Structure 1
């Protein structure tokens, strides 16, 4: 039985997703199942900020407020969590 090619349509245009990532996700899913939808390791220098660091900052942001302030700044969060301000900001933004 011949398999028909996958139709990559059906992605709503407002999602602004081109067919290329959809093909990649579908191929990974067929090859590896649901676990294939996770990102593959990226080339280059490994991340210096861990998932635990990101989780700690997010939890602190959502559940606490800084002393004498209404919201966290990058400086106050860096001081409270012991992370480097620039790395924390870039790491959380995914850049």
Structure 2
């Protein structure tokens, strides 16, 4: 394992970035599995809701686009 991919404890850090491992480990110790989810970030709130994400996933898994055999970047998922 590459030396820079290790944090101070000898454990590979998140995404191979030095110093990120202790951050995630601390969040896990403090909050359990919920600590591994992304925290809210500053800036404009996201426009895509969880319901939108679920709709797209269900649509791509359960339907085939008109005049096509599979979904692609050109198939379109407009409501």
Query: Residues 1-95 of structure 1: matches in 2 within 5 Å?
Result: 7=9, 9-11=10-12, 16-74=15-73, 76-79=75-78, 82=79
> 1:65: Cα distance to partner?
0.5
Of structures 1 and 2, the one with the larger relative CO (CA 8 A, separation 6+) is 1
**Paired residues, what number?**
72
Q: Over aligned residues, Cα RMSD in angstroms? A: 2.3
> 1:75: Cα distance to partner?
5.4
- TM-score under structure 1 normalisation? 0.61
**Higher percent of residues as helix:** 1
> 1:16: Cα distance to partner?
4.7
Give per-residue Cα distances to partners, 1:1-51, cap 9 Å, x unaligned.
Answer: xxxxx71x2328xx8511322111011112222211111001100000101
CA distance in structure 2 between the partners assigned to 1:65 and 1:46 by the alignment: 32
CA distance in structure 2 between the partners assigned to 1:53 and 1:20 by the alignment: 34
- TM-score under structure 2 normalisation? 0.71
Q: 5+ unaligned residues in a row in structure 1: which ranges?
A: 1-5, 83-95
